[in-house]
Structure 1
C-alpha cells in the first residue's frame, strides 16, 4: 500500500490555513500546515511533499525567500511551488515568483474549483512517481531473484555435468572391466583345456591325472589371485603389484616350512599377460624339485637368484644337495611342452644344466613382460 500524498500549506494567518484545509481535504492526502517560512522549512526537512502552497506576504521570511531557500537545498529544490497572493499580480511580481521557482500564481480570494483542480494535478503526478518508484523497487527485487536463480541454475548445471561425467567414466570403466573379465575367462578356459589335454597324455593312470591336474589348477588360481585388485584399500580398488619374487613366493609357499629355499637378488613387476605362463612354469619346476630334486630330501637346497640384465631379467634356478638324474633327451612330457610354450608365448629363453649336485636352470624374461 502506498503512503499518503503530502501537501504543504504556508500562511501566517490561521484562518487561511483552515480554509485551504477545508477546500483540499480528500482521501489519500495529508495537509501539512506552517505559520511561517522557518516552520515551513523545518517541515520540508522531515517530510517529502508533492506541492507547496506558499503565501507571498508573510512576516519574517516572505514567500519568495522561502522559495529561494528551497531551491538551494538538494532535498527540496524540485518541489513544485504555487504562490498565493492577495496583492496586485503585476508582471514584475510574477516574473520574480517564476524566477524563484514557482510553477503558478493563485490570486486571493481563492476560487475553490481552480485550486482543487491544480492540487489534483500535482497529487496525481506524485502518485505516478510513487507507482514508478514501487515498480522500480519490484523490478530490482525481481532482477536480484533472477540473478540468484541464474546462479543456482549454473551451479545445478555444473553439478549435473560433473555427475554425468562421473557416471560416464564409471560406465566406461565398467565396460573395460567387463571386457577384461571376458578376456581372462576365455584365456583361463583355453589354458585349462590345454592342461587337461597335456596332462592326460603324460599321466600313467586316472589318479596321477587328477593329482597333477589339481596341483596345476591350484597354481593357476594363485596366479589369478595375484592379478586381482585390492578391494579393501579405503573402499577403492587398487591393483596389486605382482613381481617375480611375489609369484615365486606364492608358488613355493607349500614347501617353505624350512630354510631350504632362498630367493635373492633384484625384483621386477610382471605384466599380467606373462603371469599365467610363468606361474605354470615355476609350479612345474617346484613340483619336479619336490619329486626328484632339492625339495625331495632334507639335505636338498633350492636357491633362486634374480638379476636385472640388458633386455630384461634373468632367473637362476639352482638345486643342490641331492642327485638329480637327468631325464632322457627325447622326453616330451608336460614340463618340456610347457617350457616350449613359455619360450614361444613370452619370448623367453630357457637353458638347463645337469650337475652332480643338482640341476641349474637359467630363465631369461624379456623386458616386454615387465612393468
Structure 2
C-alpha cells in the first residue's frame, strides 16, 4: 500500500513557508512545515520524509546545525537535504553544507521550475522505493506461503500414503486368502474386513473429490424442506459402528416441536456424521457423546459434545484447516487425511451456516456447534 509522500519545509519566516507550499503542492504530497530546528526535529520523530528543504539562516539552530543533528540520528540520517539560502554561494559555505549532508543548494529568490524539478526527483525516488519495498514484502509473504504449502503437501502425501497402504495391504492379503483358502479360515470375516477397508478408501477419495469440487465452485447443493427428525438418525448411524466398537454412550436431545430445515439431506448427514464420528474417534473406550438440538431465533443449533481427549489450546485455531489433525500427546491421532473438519466447515458455510469449537481442553473433551438457518 502506497502512502502519501512527505516533504519537510523548515524556515523561520511564515511567508517563506507559504510560498514553498504553493510552489510544491501536488497530489499525493504532504508538506509539513516547521518554524525552527527544534520544531523540525520533533516532526521527524513521528514522520518519514522523502526530502527536507532547510533554510540556512535561521535564528538559534541554523540549517547547517539542524542537518548535522539529522545526520547523527538513525531515523533521519537518510533524509535527502536541500539547503535554501539567500546568502553568498561561496565555496566554503557550500562545502560546509555538503559536509553536513546536503544533496543540493538552491539560491533565493527561488526559481519555481528549478525547485519543482529537483523536488520531483526525490518524490519519484521515494514512490519507487515504496513500491519496491511493497513488492519485496509481497514476495516474502508469497515465499512463506509457498513454503508452508509445500510442507503441507509433503505432510499430506505422507499421510495419504499411510492411509492407502494399510487398506491396500489388507485387501491384498484378503484376496490371497480367498484365492488359496486355508482350513479353518472364516471367509466371511475376511470379506467383511476387505469390505470395511475398501469403504475407508472410498471415503478418503470421496472427501478429496468434495474438497476439490468446493474449491473450484463445482459442488451444488440439492436443498429441500426436511424435518430434522427425519435426517438426524441417518446422520448418527454413520458414526454407529465407531460408537459401538468403542462402547460409547450416545445421548441425543431434540426439541418436542418439529424443526424444519432447507438443506441438502445428503450433505447434512455428511456434516453431522463426520462430527459425531470424530467425537467417537477421539474419545477413549466407554466414553459419552451428547448431541443436543435447540432453536435460537432464526437458527437451529446442533451441538456435539464428548468427554474425550480434547484439543490442546495451541492447536484449536487450526483444526478447521486442510490436512490438520489434533495430536494431544496421549496417543490419539485421528485417522484419515485431516480434511474432515475442513470439509464440514465448507459444507456448513455453503448452507449459510457456521461451525464453531465451543470449548475444548485436554482430558476434558470437546464441544462443537453447528448453526444452520431455520425455516420458520
Q: RCO (CA 8 Å, sep 6+): is it higher in 1 or 2? A: 2
TM-score, scaled to structure 2: 0.49
TM-score, scaled to structure 1: 0.49
Which structure dedicates a bigger proportion of its chain to helix?
1
Q: Which has the larger radius of gyration?
A: 1
